[in-house]
Amino acid sequence: MTTLRSNRVVVGGQVRPATIRYEGGVVVSIGHGAADRDYGDLLVLPGLVDSHVHVNEPGRTEWEGFETATGAAAAGGTTTIVDMPLNSVPPTTTVEALREKRQAAYGKLSVDCAFWGGIVPGSEPDVDELEAAGVCGFKVFMVDSGVPEFPPMDIAVLQTLEIETPLLVHAELESHLKQAGADYQSYLESRPPLAEADAIRAVDGLGPPVHILHVSSADGVAAIADAAPGMTGETCPHYLIFSAADVTGTEFKCAPPIREREHREALWQGLADGHLGLIVSDHSPSPPDLKKGDFSSAWGGISSLQLRLGAVWSGAVERSLGIEQVVGWLATGPARLAGIDDRKGSIDVRKDADFVIFDPDGITKVRGTNLYHRHPLTPYEGMGLRGRVVETLLRGDVAYDGFSVTGVSGRMLRRR
């Protein structure tokens, strides 16, 4: 039996003193008293869950890989990631592709990892087998994904799907998109907020439970607020921290784009109002050469897996939002979406002993060369983010000690 305590533990939606006892990597009791590890006034948070990570291995391992991605996760306080079905080759649209993905991950995980499946035209017959194999749900695109092996789905086909797991939708309507020019304003205008909002309305009422990915606009928040009960949505740190006025180069390019300040504030309000339930990284790295050029041609993706907690906490403090809310968005919500909240997402008896020891008053100076991501390019370069991860514990073992990833082994998870 091992114990840890702090004067500030986030448990049951509150910050309070607590002593946590765990054995065999699982929490067995939460109470009071002395402990083997006393963290004083440092915050003890549940291990974070990031349900939107593009690891890209196998097939595009030069973009990112399980070893580097999960190392970055551990260093940022994330103890579980859920891997997206693209941009790996093959994409996770068949059980055989899922098997290849799991083989590629074997022995390389510093944190736990679950997997989303994907649906592309012609792969609909594989859905049942993938569900049986334990994927957390399915991702689809309504527009070009950027990689040829993952084409978009037609809404009429989506209406025929009979699945009980979440259907994750990249919601933009192709008919609303325009050809982008070289500068950022042109790129911004090429993917207007209405493309997102009308796409959300188009999938409202589909049979499967619909989850809207990376909501970027006030219009998107409003469309989710008006949708039928059951639709959920997420946003990302880059939409919450930056605005279009901050964009200085293609390292900021993502799809949908980072929009004007009023959209950023509407996203924060959407989180506070409960229309958006989680904040995920949408970690979508690529080799630096693919980020070169102008906004019409550079790869659209941001690397931020390691920085999610610091970025969100920085924005939350500015808006007088509490760490309890941040935990809901970064841990509880993503675990619930992925169907792994029976063991992840909160500190509770019979759940995994996954913890983040966090100094909320510290400062993390961002240097891309110090990140565990495979490539150092990041729009957060040079920023001082609030908070510092002191330790990350995976099932009670130290996965990150404040200076380096320790080599603790993660596991591969299935949906409950």
Which amino acid is it at 333?
Answer: G
The verdict on domain 47-342+361-385 having CATH code 3.40.50.720 is no
| Tokens matching residue 297 | 């041609």
| Tokens matching residue 179 | 């050809």
Whether the pLDDT of residue 207 is over 90: the answer is no
The confidence band for 292, taking pLDDT boundaries of 50, 70 and 90, is very high
CA atoms of 213 and 45, how far apart (whole Å):
25
Strand-strand pairing, 14-23 and 26-31? antiparallel
Q: What separation, in Å, do the N-terminal and C-terminal C-alpha atoms of the chain show?
A: 26
Strands, DSSP E only, in 167-251?
Answer: 167-170, 210-212, 232-235
| Tokens matching residue 29 | 């009791």
From 371, 285, 344, 290, select the one nearest 53 (Cα to Cα).
Answer: 285
Look at phi and psi of residue 84 and say left if phi exceeds 0, alpha if psi is from -120 to 50, else beta.
beta
Mean pLDDT of 243-266: 98
| pLDDT for 168 | 98
| Rg of the chain taking only CA atoms, in angstroms | 20
pLDDT, tens digit, 9 for 90 and up, residues 46-105:
999 999 999 999 999 999 999 999 999 999 999 999 999 999 999 999 999 999 999 999
Phi/psi at 384 (nearest 5 deg)?
A: -105, 100
CA atoms of 331 and 108, how far apart (whole Å):
23
| pLDDT for 383 | 98
Rounded to whole angstroms, what are the CA distances from 336 to 16, 219, 317?
23, 25, 25
Phi/psi at 371 (nearest 5 deg)?
A: -85, 155
CA atoms of 49 and 79, how far apart (whole Å):
6
Rounded to whole angstroms, what are the CA distances from 139 to 30, 46, 57, 287?
37, 26, 17, 24
Q: What is the DSSP letter of 323?
A: H
Rounded to whole angstroms, what are the CA distances from 109 to 67, 69, 148?
6, 9, 28
CA atoms of 124 and 111, how far apart (whole Å):
31
Mean pLDDT of 332-353: 98
Helix (H) or strand (E) holding 292: none
Mean pLDDT of the chain: 97
| Tokens matching residue 95 | 């059980």
Whether the pLDDT of residue 154 is over 90: the answer is yes
Whether the pLDDT of residue 346 is over 90: the answer is yes
| pLDDT for 339 | 98
Structural domain spans, the chain: 2-38, 47-342+361-385
CA atoms of 115 and 188, how far apart (whole Å):
31
Whether the pLDDT of residue 201 is over 90: the answer is yes
Of the two residues 225 and 159, the one the predictor is more confident about is: 225
Whether the pLDDT of residue 136 is over 90: the answer is yes
Helix (H) or strand (E) holding 35: none
Mean pLDDT of 336-361: 98
Yes or no: say if 235 and 255 are a contact pair by the CB < 8 Å rule: no
CA atoms of 381 and 31, how far apart (whole Å):
41
CA atoms of 242 and 325, how far apart (whole Å):
20
Of the two residues 159 and 332, the one the predictor is more confident about is: 332
Q: Helix 218-225 to helix 261-273 angle, to the nearest 10 degrees? A: 30
| pLDDT for 142 | 97
| Residue 297: how many other CB atoms lie within 10 Å | 12
| pLDDT for 313 | 98
| Cβ contacts of 354 within 8 Å, gap of 6 or more | 46, 47, 79, 80, 344, 393, 394, 395
- Displacement of CA 219 from its chain's centroid (Å): 22
pLDDT, tens digit, 9 for 90 and up, residues 19-38:
999 999 999 999 999 999 99
